[in-house]
Each structure stands twice: as structure tokens, then as C-alpha cells.
Amino acid sequence: MAGDLGVRIKFIPFDLENLSQLLEEDYFDIAMSGIPILPGTLRSMVFSDAYMNTNWAFVVKDHLRHRFSSLAKIKKMDGLTIGIAAGTGAAIDIEEYFSLAKAVKMDSVSEFFQSDEQNIDCLLISAEAGSAWTLLHPDYQVVVPKPMIGVQSLGYPVAGGDQELLNYVNSWIEVIIRGKLVDEVYDHWILGRGAEEKQPRWSVIRDVLHWVE
């Protein structure tokens, strides 16, 4: 987007908790990425049109994936612990939706993959974001239970009152989606398609003596 606008880009970290205030104070022009469009956030922030719909799913150890295939099965799991990472925008009241389960809040998604000692059974996250994490942790699997838990729309909040920027962003989203660039980026960064396998550097032990593969 910065390239299309012909401007330099500056990245500024933020927390979802203070995003509304930072936008109101014009601390930055636009916030990205993976920010859900929710009734609560619509009251405090100006959003672009949705650029993607994501599906709620669970990330679990690969050998446990069959246990999470059915929503009815999950709701019957007594004592199930479900991890929720800050910033993932989970709009589901876990302990109300899954009455026998317990929600465990984490500072980041990465905590879940280091949480053996915390006894967190699964991670509730979008299937799309979960797929990206399982590329880094292949012993985990994304499971979208049937019927699906729900769909969440993502958009870009812009600085309050900047209608000109909002109009541009909405038009930009429409052009990008129609041009199929979103599909290409999704396939590469979320599904990991088209990635080239990194070859190990040349080695006498491997390439000459063939002692190792």
C-alpha cells in the first residue's frame, strides 16, 4: 500500500487495548493486521471494508486432532483447557460457549507451543493464522470442527475522521482482491505454498564421503 501511495512506511507497535486511543490521537494513519471487525470495536474505531473472512479453529497436537473434529465432542470434554492469546481477537465467551471448559489467557500465541507445563489442551485461533503457526510447529494440526464455530471478518482501522484515506483503502482492497493478489499472498504466507526448500551448504562429509544424508 505504501508503494502504491508513493510514501515511505514506518512501523509502530501497538496493543489492541490502546489502539482506539492511538488512532484518535492520530499517532499513526492505519493499523494492521488481522484486526477483527467486532460490534465493540466499531463503536470506537473507523474500519475499512473487510478484506478477509477467517474461520475459528483449534490448534492441537497432531495425534489429538480426531478428538476435535466434532463441536459436539468438544462441548462434552470436561476440564478442557483452551488457550486464548492476546491480540487474536477471540470474540467468543469460552466458558459460556464450552460450559465444561476453562479459558487460559496468554500474552502471545508462541506461549501455547511452549506450554506443556501449563497443561493447555488446545489453542482457539483463526484457521488461517493457525495454519501459519503449524508451519513452524509441524507436530501440531489445525482442526476446524463441524459444524464450524463461526466466521470473523478482518479490516484495517484508520485514523479517526480521515475519510479520504478510508475511501482510498476501501478502493485499494477492492482492486487487490479482484486482482487475485490476496490469493497469492494467502497461499504463500498462510498455506506455505511455493516455498523453496533451503538446501544445506556443501560439505565433504555429505557430498563427498556420503556419511550423512
Residue written as grid cell 475511501: 167
| Domain termination residue (choose one: 151, 171, 198) | 151
Tell me the per-residue pLDDT of 157-194, one tens digit each, with 9 for 90 and over. Answer: 998 778 999 999 999 998 887 776 667 777 776 666 76
Tell me the per-residue pLDDT of 66-76, one tens digit each, with 9 for 90 and over. Answer: 999 999 999 99
161 and 144 in a common domain: no
Which secondary structure element, helix H or strand E, spans residue 122, and what is its range? Answer: strand 122-126
**Distance from C-alpha of 188 to C-alpha of 155, rounded to nearest angstrom:** 20
Cβ within 8 Å of residue 3, ≥6 positions away: none
CATH number of the domain where residue 30 is located: 3.40.190.10
Assess contact for 108 and 85: CB atoms under 8 A. yes
Decide if 69 is inside a domain.
Answer: yes
CA distances from 126 to 135, 150, 164 (A): 15, 10, 31
Decide if 212 is inside a domain.
Answer: no
Decide if 197 is inside a domain.
Answer: no
143 and 80 in a common domain: yes
CA distances from 83 to 22, 41, 76, 118, 212 (A): 28, 22, 17, 10, 40
147 and 75 in a common domain: yes
Decide if 37 is inside a domain.
Answer: yes
**Distance from C-alpha of 80 to C-alpha of 76, rounded to nearest angstrom:** 9
| Domain termination residue (choose one: 102, 126, 151) | 151
> Which alpha helices (DSSP H) does 87-140 contain, by range?
94-97, 127-136
88 and 31 in a common domain: no
- pTM value is 0.72
Decide if 75 is inside a domain.
Answer: yes
Domain around 73: 53-151
Number of structural domains in the chain: 2
pLDDT in tens, the chain (213 residues): 888 889 999 999 988 888 889 998 989 999 998 888 887 788 888 999 998 888 899 999 999 999 999 999 999 999 999 998 876 655 567 777 888 999 888 888 888 988 665 688 999 998 888 988 998 899 999 999 999 888 889 999 998 778 999 999 999 998 887 776 667 777 776 666 765 656 666 665 666 666 656
Assess contact for 109 and 130: CB atoms under 8 A. no
164 and 130 in a common domain: no
172 and 136 in a common domain: no
